[in-house]
Amino acid sequence: MSENLDKILQANAAYAAEFGDKANLAMPPARGFAVLTCMDARLDPAKFAGLAEGDAHVIRNAGGRASDDAIRSLVISHKLLGTQEFFIVHHTDCGMETFTDDIMRGLLRQSLDTATIDENGWRDTGAGPGTTEGDQVAWLTFTDLAQSVRDDVLRVKTSPMVPDDLPVRGFIYDCKSGRLEEVV
């Protein structure tokens, strides 16, 4: 058993012991919306947006990007589980602004170990072997945070599987203040 697993299971036992009437929650989100945001460890969407268990779908990936898989999830959310509004939340100081496809592909070609970053940029100190598999991946990095939000709102809004009149709103979460700012 790992230390991480041990702590997760301890916390989970405490949570389950106080589970109460959450056992009766229904599958469709009670508040009828979905949030797409970044996997970043500093973000807790339930806390920063005030969500209780049962309220809303939460979709997260690196960057909070409107990837094909995020759109798969959003379409399931609306078409099968009744959500009628989407919120896309990117954030300041996002890791996705620190690299490019070329950088990630180069790092993965060197090794699979964790790379380091300093004022000179990313550096791979791993022992190898690496892989060329990353060459096939669009890593969905961005350089302009507000534009990345606008791009992703547009991508969701113009998906042929999303109704034209379904509201899709875009935000930036500020990691220094905890505040949401509406972009579009």
By CB under 8 A, name the one of 88, 90, 107, 155 that touches its own copies: 107
In the complex, the smallest distance separating the C-beta of residue 104 from its own copies, rounded to whole angstroms, is 7
Minimum CB separation from its own copies for residue 120, in Å?
A: 15
Q: What's the full length of the chain, in residues?
A: 184
Q: Least distance to its own copies from the beta carbon of 90, Å?
A: 14
What tokens were used for 105? Answer: 């592909």
CA 123 to chain centre: 25
What binding mask, one character per residue, do residues 9-28 give for its own copies by CB under 8 A, x or -? xxxxxxxx--x--xx-x-xx
Q: Across the strands, what pairs with 116?
A: 123
With CB under 8 A as the contact rule, the residue among 100, 101, 104, 106 that binds its own copies is 104
CB of 50 to its own copies, least distance (A): 2
- CA-to-CA dists, residue 83 to 3, 32, 157, angstroms: 38, 4, 14
Footprint (CB under 8 A) of its own copies, residues 127-156: 131, 133-134, 137, 139-140
The nearest distance, CB 141 to its own copies, in angstroms, is: 9
Q: Which of 88, 115, 149, 168 binds its own copies (CB under 8 A)?
A: 115
Amino acid letter for position 24 = N
Q: How far is CA 154 from CA 35, 126, 143, in A?
A: 15, 39, 17
In 3D, which of 134, 129, 125, 147 has the Cα closest to residue 101?
A: 134
The residue within the footprint of its own copies, chosen from 88, 162, 172, 183 (CB under 8 A), is 162
Q: Where are the beta strands (DSSP E) in the chain?
A: 33-38, 56-61, 86-91, 116-118, 121-123, 168-173, 180-182
Chain positions 34 to 53 lying near its own copies, rule: CB under 8 A, are 34, 39-44, 46-51, 53
DSSP tally for the chain: helices H, then strands E: 5, 7
- Does position 106 interact with its own copies (CB under 8 A)? The reply is no
Instruction: Tell which positions 64-83 bind its own copies, by CB under 8 A.
Output: 67-70, 72-73, 75-82
Helix (H) or strand (E) holding 145: helix 145-157
